[in-house]
Amino acid sequence: MAELEKKHMLKDRDMQLIMGNLLRTGVVLSMTVVFIGGLIYLMGYGKQVANYSEFVMDESGFFSLASIWTGMLEMNGKAIIQLGILLLIFTPISRVILAVFSFLLERDYLYVLIGLMILGIILFSLSNKLAG
Amino acid sequence: MSILLFTLVILLGAFLAGLVGSLTGLGGGVIIIPLLTLVLGVDIHYAIGASIVSVIATSSGSAAAYVKEGITNIRIGMFLEIATTISAIFGAVITVYINPNYISVIFGAILLFSAAMMLRKKVDHSDTDTSGKLAKFFKLNGSYPTPNGEQPYAVHNVAGGFLMMAVAGVASGLLGIGSGALKVLAMDNIMRIPFKVSTTTSNFMMGVTAAASAVVYLHRGQIDPGIAMPVCLGVLIGARAGSKILIKSKPEKLKVLFASVVTFLALQMIYSGLKG
């Protein structure tokens, strides 16, 4: 019994280490992309006048994978920043995916289910039926 | 103001917000939003979008360190994330239908509450009475490493904590903040989890919660790269600097100063909302 518990703790420990590294890598990678995009953005748009005094619902900008991709090919700074932000948003989501696999290995099916529920909720949000 | 100057001003402001947010434990979001709206005249919807991005960056960054130390209770975090993600999406959906003036007022109220939470004397309610049925079923009871070995703890009132987390999630989606103060209230006072575990686990949950609402904001065009870029870089660097200072000194006296600043910002937000 004690042996089994020790094994269980060891697996939890592994998951914690991998999860920590995953989160760190995600943050460093995404922030590097945002920084590079920011430099390109400032070189292109720096002299224009900033105007954010009123929010306009705008779904034509770099808010979808396809538009970010075409913007990237044109080396558009805004598109590169948005790519970095997407990478950042996917960092905690990939952490949930990792946890689901790890709970699967532990045969903790209750938490596999909980992890899948969270992913389902986020996928539903990703489906773009909610933006209004 | 030219975009270059605007970006540099936000970068500096975001750095300070991240620094103060990390020193006080409030998080950068609740400080950057008043800075953007009150000082730079940015529409609150853009401020919320940029802030949520910084919440993901700072919480994921510090969660990385906490998770490795083995203090974070991943099961408690994931169980409660069901409540926070659903309610955060709900908050993010309704936020554009609410008059921005009301959002300012709600924001101010949450800010006041956070300042009060910061100053209150913390009492550890944790114990090892692991008889709670729901806590047992969801395997929430756990232990965390201390210098004297593993310290076990029990989780209480799971349903109450879950509901309070749903409130925290709505606030997070509505206002673009991590709502750490509400999360810690749910875990410390309702579920009676030890401080070390509750603060790190709340931090752990913030990334997923914020990602859920960020997706809604992104589709809507609320995350503008021109604001989000300096905000997330500045807050993240500021928060890193703050965590380095935090290890060296316990800023108890600074807390009173910061609480006054936060109270001032809160009153300003409420005033600007009421004035219309």
Q: How many folded domains does chain B comprise?
A: 1
Per-residue model confidence (pLDDT) at position B249: 59
Half-sphere exposure of B34 (CA within 13 A, CB side): 27
Chain A contact for B72 (CB, 8 A cutoff): yes
Q: Testing the interface with B: which of A85, A103, A126 to mutate, by most B Cβ within 10 A? A: A85
B226/A20 touch (CB, cutoff 8 Å), yes or no: no
Chain A contact for B232 (CB, 8 A cutoff): yes
A99/B78 touch (CB, cutoff 8 Å), yes or no: yes
Chain A residues with CB inside 8 Å of B85's CB? 118, 121-122
Chain A residues with CB inside 8 Å of B39's CB? none
Chain A contact for B43 (CB, 8 A cutoff): yes
Per-residue model confidence (pLDDT) at position A6: 56
Q: SS3 helix, strand, coil % of chain B, rounded to 5?
A: 75, 5, 20
Q: Under a CB-based contact definition with an 8 Å cutoff, are residues A85 and B49 in contact? A: no
Predicted interface score ipTM higher than 0.90: yes
- Hey, which residues 60-119 in chain A have their CB within 8 Å of chain B? 60-63, 77-79, 81-82, 85-86, 88-93, 95-96, 99, 108, 110-111, 114-115, 117-118
B78/A27 touch (CB, cutoff 8 Å), yes or no: no
Distance CA B69, CA A13 (A): 9
Where on the phi/psi map is residue B224: left (φ > 0), alpha (ψ -120 to 50), or beta? beta
Chain A residues with CB inside 8 Å of B2's CB? 46-50
Going by the DSSP 8-state scheme, the letter that residue A132 receives in this structure is -
Per-residue model confidence (pLDDT) at position B266: 93
Per-residue model confidence (pLDDT) at position A8: 59
State the pLDDT confidence band at A127, using cuts at 50, 70 and 90.
confident
Spell out the residues 6+ positions from residue B259 whose beta carbon is closer than 8 angstroms to its own.
Answer: B24, B115, B118, B119
A49/B2 touch (CB, cutoff 8 Å), yes or no: yes
Query: What is chain B's mean pLDDT, rounded?
Result: 90
Chain A contact for B21 (CB, 8 A cutoff): no
Chain A contact for B237 (CB, 8 A cutoff): no
State the average pLDDT over residues A81-110.
Answer: 94
| Minimal Cβ distance to A96: which of B208, B224, B226 | B208
Check whether A3 has a pLDDT greater than 80: no
Spell out the residues 6+ positions from residue B42 whose beta carbon is closer than 8 angstroms to its own.
Answer: A52, A53, B36, B227
Please tell me the least confidently modeled range out of A56-65, B16-25, B77-86, B93-102.
A56-65
Per-residue model confidence (pLDDT) at position B154: 95
Chain A contact for B215 (CB, 8 A cutoff): yes
Chain B residues with CB inside 8 Å of A116's CB? none
B236/A82 touch (CB, cutoff 8 Å), yes or no: no
State the average pLDDT over residues B110-137.
Answer: 87
Check whether B254 has a pLDDT greater than 80: no
Half-sphere exposure of A105 (CA within 13 A, CB side): 13
State pLDDT tens for residues B169-222.
999 999 999 988 899 889 999 999 998 899 899 999 999 999 999 999 998 889
B2/A47 touch (CB, cutoff 8 Å), yes or no: yes
In this prediction, what percent of chain B has a pLDDT beyond 70?
A: 98
B216/A130 touch (CB, cutoff 8 Å), yes or no: yes
B64/A41 touch (CB, cutoff 8 Å), yes or no: no
State the pLDDT confidence band at A1, using cuts at 50, 70 and 90.
very low
In this prediction, what percent of chain B has a pLDDT beyond 90?
A: 63
3-class state of residue B143 by DSSP: strand
Distance CA A18, CA B102 (A): 43
Check whether A17 has a pLDDT greater than 60: yes
Question: Residue B33 belongs to what domain range?
Answer: 3-275
State the average pLDDT over residues B75-91.
Answer: 96
Chain B residues with CB inside 8 Å of A19's CB? 64, 67, 74
Q: Testing the interface with A: which of B60, B62, B174, B240 to mutate, by most A Cβ within 10 A? A: B60
Greatest mean pLDDT range, B82-86, B147-151, B191-195: B82-86
